[in-house]
């Protein structure tokens, strides 16, 4: 049965202006362009009452996976960023609090001994390009001491719990401007004043995350689990992991464009990935959708998209190819995702309508069109204002210094249903 276009409307309820977006394990780690948990929870409450399996094809730090598990729904997520996968895994893995508290007490004692002047031997500071540019020498030593402690934790889940807190500590004590999602160094006068207490920052992260884990355990239903993978849905979805027609619901927030000009997840994660030793860290942005550049003009057979691409190409041919590259990959990804959703299954994509060279690109309409080509009908599109999502709201579409434009002040929740 085909469902025809019904409605697209602004709903202030979905703004969740006064809601706590950092409840449970959602508090664990900052990350750019995170979907707020209240959106995932509301969609699940409306469309996932009988769902047994949720899939998030761009899972990031696991917001929808956490919400699914809280409702007793099994979940699968995939992301090409190793840091995102670590965070998602830690946020959805139940840890015995008695065991965790043992390690937290031991770590606190260890930190106390360090502060009292205990000698720490065989601590190795990792080498990577520009480490001295991003970290003061004393900060490097403190981070190395913490990392050396963590690697000796024998419980792998607790070890990852510590690494998650360590990752956020790395960024907080670096010389980056933490208000930015890309890597920008502090101004010289700020650097001179900046002397973080690295060990205390780590302890604060651990305590906060421990409390979030306690809340998560208290509310989690049954033994539902989340499985996290690294496959790229642009190219494939392994049937050994997700069988065709097996997914009840997809709730996700895909990238809104190529990483170079929207949200550079790789840049945001780079310092933590380097300290954690993730070898694939340099491939995050190049493996993202649109990371491989398309070298010729392509039409998609959808007037809204094709017109926008032509206008962009008129202003900047090279930039037009960048945008085409993203939508080539986006369509491939949606084609693959459509195959694993069962008949009657639901998809909810939270997208933003970005501007390139001053040209508006209607990602909500494009998403709807790409799914309709795969046998889905449109249920509704909800428009919500973005009051607190960490992503740029202004950019420089002309690359002229000082000339900026609004990017995405609203999100569009596109809800589709696969024909039965």
Q: What is the pLDDT of residues 210-266, one digit of tens each?
A: 999 999 999 998 899 999 999 999 999 999 999 999 999 999 999 887 655 555 677
Single pTM value for the model: 0.90
Q: Please report which confidence band the pLDDT of residue 408 belongs to, taking 50, 70 and 90 as the band edges.
A: low
Report the distance separating Cα 75 and Cα 82, nearest Å.
Answer: 18
- pLDDT value of position 401: 38
Q: Are 350 and 411 in contact (CB under 8 A)?
A: yes
**In sequence order, what are the beta bridge partners of 350?**
413
Report the distance separating Cα 222 and Cα 237, nearest Å.
Answer: 27
Q: What is the pLDDT of residues 341-360, one digit of tens each?
A: 999 999 999 999 988 889 99
| Helix or strand (DSSP H, E) at 84 | helix 82-92
Q: Is the pLDDT of residue 391 over 90?
A: no
List alpha helices for 277-420, DSSP H: 284-287, 303-315, 317-340, 363-372
Architecture category of domain 8-81+230-264+283-418 in CATH: 3-Layer(aba) Sandwich (3.40)
Look up residue 358 and give its two tokens. 């001053």
Q: Please report which confidence band the pLDDT of residue 195 belongs to, taking 50, 70 and 90 as the band edges.
A: very high
What are the domain boundaries of the chain? 8-81+230-264+283-418, 97-218
Sign of CA dihedral 56, 62, 67, 70: positive
């Amino acid at each position: 049965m085909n469902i025809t276009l019904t409605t697209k409307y602004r709903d202030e309820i979905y703004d969740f202006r006064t809601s706590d977006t950092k409840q449970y394990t959602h508090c664990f780690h900052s990350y750019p362009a995170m979907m707020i948990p209240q959106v995932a929870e509301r969609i699940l409450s409306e469309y996932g009452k009988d769902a047994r399996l949720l899939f998030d094809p761009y899972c990031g730090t696991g917001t929808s996976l956490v919400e699914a598990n809280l409702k007793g729904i099994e979940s699968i997520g995939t992301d090409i960023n190793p840091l995102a996968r670590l965070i998602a895994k830690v946020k959805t893995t139940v840890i015995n609090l008695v065991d965790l508290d043992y390690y937290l007490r031991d770590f606190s004692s260890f930190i106390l001994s360090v502060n009292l002047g205990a000698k720490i031997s065989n601590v190795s500071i990792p080498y990577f390009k520009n480490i001295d540019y991003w970290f003061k020498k004393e900060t490097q030593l403190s981070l190395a001491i913490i990392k050396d402690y963590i690697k000796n934790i024998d419980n792998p889940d607790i070890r990852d719990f510590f690494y998650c807190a360590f990752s956020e500590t790395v960024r907080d004590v670096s010389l980056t401007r933490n208000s930015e999602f890309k890597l920008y160094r502090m101004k010289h006068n700020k650097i001179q004043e900046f002397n973080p207490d690295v060990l205390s920052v780590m302890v604060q992260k651990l305590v906060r995350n421990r409390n979030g884990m306690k809340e998560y355990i208290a509310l989690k239903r049954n033994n539902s689990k989340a499985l996290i993978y690294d496959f790229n849905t642009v190219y494939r979805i392994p049937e050994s992991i997700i069988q065709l027609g097996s997914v009840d619901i997809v709730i996700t927030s895909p990238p809104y464009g190529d990483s170079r000009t929207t949200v550079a997840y790789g840049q945001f994660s780079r310092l933590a990935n380097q300290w954690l030793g993730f070898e694939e860290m340099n491939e995050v942005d190049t493996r993202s959708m649109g990371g491989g550049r398309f070298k010729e003009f392509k039409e998609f057979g959808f007037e809204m998209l094709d017109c926008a691409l032509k206008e962009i190409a008129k202003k900047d041919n090279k930039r037009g190819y960048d945008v085409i590259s993203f939508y080539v990959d986006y369509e491939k990804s949606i084609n693959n995702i459509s195959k694993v959703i069962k008949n009657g299954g639901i998809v909810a994509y939270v997208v933003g309508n970005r501007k390139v060279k001053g040209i508006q690109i209607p990602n909500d309409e494009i998403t709807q069109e790409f799914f309709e080509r795969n046998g889905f009908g449109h249920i509704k599109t909800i428009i919500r204002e973005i009051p607190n999502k960490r992503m740029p709201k202004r950019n420089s579409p002309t690359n002229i210094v000082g000339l900026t434009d609004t990017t995405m002040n609203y999100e569009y929740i596109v809800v589709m249903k696969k024909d039965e």
